[in-house]
């Protein structure tokens, strides 16, 4: 499963409709300022999403920072209907460490809450360039620890903790899993890495193959990295990009699920990280959606296969 390089299938017809929308509305995430990029992602979310899914309860909270220089971290907690305790999922929204928010990922988290019957904590970690690395992993780690300690208040089970995220959020799920190894807490049951960013500038075939015309471009990746890493030297820290981690650290991380997409420039680095985890002895499940593009889980209003992906993630939460 891990020896074969993931491939592209025929581009999904619904994905082609999304790409037509991107062209029609001239959406580019790295064409201007960070604020404009955030607005562009919000436009795409509105165009490609659906009406919010009903769940048991939704609560906006403020997670206290654990240092004088760390402000409170906004988060949104989703509770399913029924009687808990439910598995607790900490979700890190993607967006290149610059864009993305609890709002752009609101319906995805609602769907996961409902279909996985899980308490979901979506984290509004600090974004670059206003707050470059290591602000995001600091917030992500504190939020995971808070979620485990406070799960019961929201119907969750603190003894079943899953970290999940897409793109930059997938990076943070992997990084917080590494941080927990080093710090001895929290106890994480599974890391769900959805088309994750795992390396800085390593040459990957998928970056060339899918670098233009499929939503996220190679230029976007370079632009996001430049915003996130104030000092290029820091990009070699495993808490910045988890492919930097030594095998003995990888070996101590929780079981993993890695999802990639055939038409995603990040495809090969997600696959490569799955291989490294497996070679280190971690229990890994890997899947490649050959006909999909980066971010397809947030395009459920247009792309039917988004629901297949969401159901697969929900099943991973159940297995935890």
Q: Which residues does the annotation mark as catalytic?
A: 167, 264, 294
- Which tokens is 5 given? 């390089």
- Residue pair 76/104 in contact (Cβ under 8 Å)? The answer is no
| Separation of alpha carbons 314 and 120, rounded Å | 11
> HEC string of 2-39?
CCCCCCCCCCCHHHHHHHHHHHHCCCCCCCCCHHHHHH
- Residue pair 149/81 in contact (Cβ under 8 Å)? The answer is no
| 222 contact partners, CB below 8 Å, separation of at least 6 | 30
Residue 289's beta-bridge partner residues?
Answer: 261
Omega before 115 within 30 of 0, i.e. cis: no
Phi, psi of 162 (to 5 degrees): -120, 135
Q: CA nearest 201: which of 160, 229, 239?
A: 229
């Amino acid at each position: 499963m891990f020896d074969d390089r993931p491939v592209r299938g025929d581009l999904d017809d619904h994905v082609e409709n999304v790409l037509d929308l991107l062209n029609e509305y001239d959406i580019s995430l790295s064409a201007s300022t960070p604020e404009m990029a955030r607005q562009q992602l919000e436009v795409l979310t509105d165009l490609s999403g659906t009406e919010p899914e009903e769940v048991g309860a939704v609560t906006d909270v403020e997670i206290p920072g654990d240092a004088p220089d760390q402000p409170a971290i906004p988060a949104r907690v989703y509770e399913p209907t029924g009687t808990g305790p439910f598995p607790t999922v900490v979700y890190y929204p993607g967006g290149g460490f610059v864009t993305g928010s609890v709002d752009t990922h609101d319906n995805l988290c609602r769907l996961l809450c409902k279909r996985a019957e899980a308490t979901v904590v979506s984290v509004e970690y600090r974004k670059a360039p206003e707050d470059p690395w290591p602000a995001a992993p600091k917030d992500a780690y504190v939020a995971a620890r808070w979620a485990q300690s406070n799960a019961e208040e929201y119907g969750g089970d603190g003894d079943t903790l899953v970290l999940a995220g897409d793109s930059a959020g997938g990076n943070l799920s992997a990084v917080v899993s590494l941080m927990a190894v080093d710090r001895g807490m929290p106890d994480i049951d599974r890391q769900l890495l959805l088309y994750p960013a795992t390396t800085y500038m390593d040459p990957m075939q998928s970056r060339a193959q899918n670098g233009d015309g499929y939503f996220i471009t190679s230029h976007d990746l370079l632009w996001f990295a430049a915003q996130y890493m104030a000092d290029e030297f820091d990009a070699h820290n495993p808490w910045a990009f988890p492919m930097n981690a030594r095998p003995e650290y990888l070996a101590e991380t929780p079981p993993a699920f890695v999802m990639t997409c055939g038409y995603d420039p990040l495809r090969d680095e997600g696959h490569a990280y799955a291989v490294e985890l497996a070679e280190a002895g971690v229990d890994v499940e890997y899947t490649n959606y050959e006909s999909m593009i980066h971010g397809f889980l947030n395009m459920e209003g247009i792309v039917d296969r988004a629901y297949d992906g969401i159901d697969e993630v929900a099943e991973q939460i159940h297995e935890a």
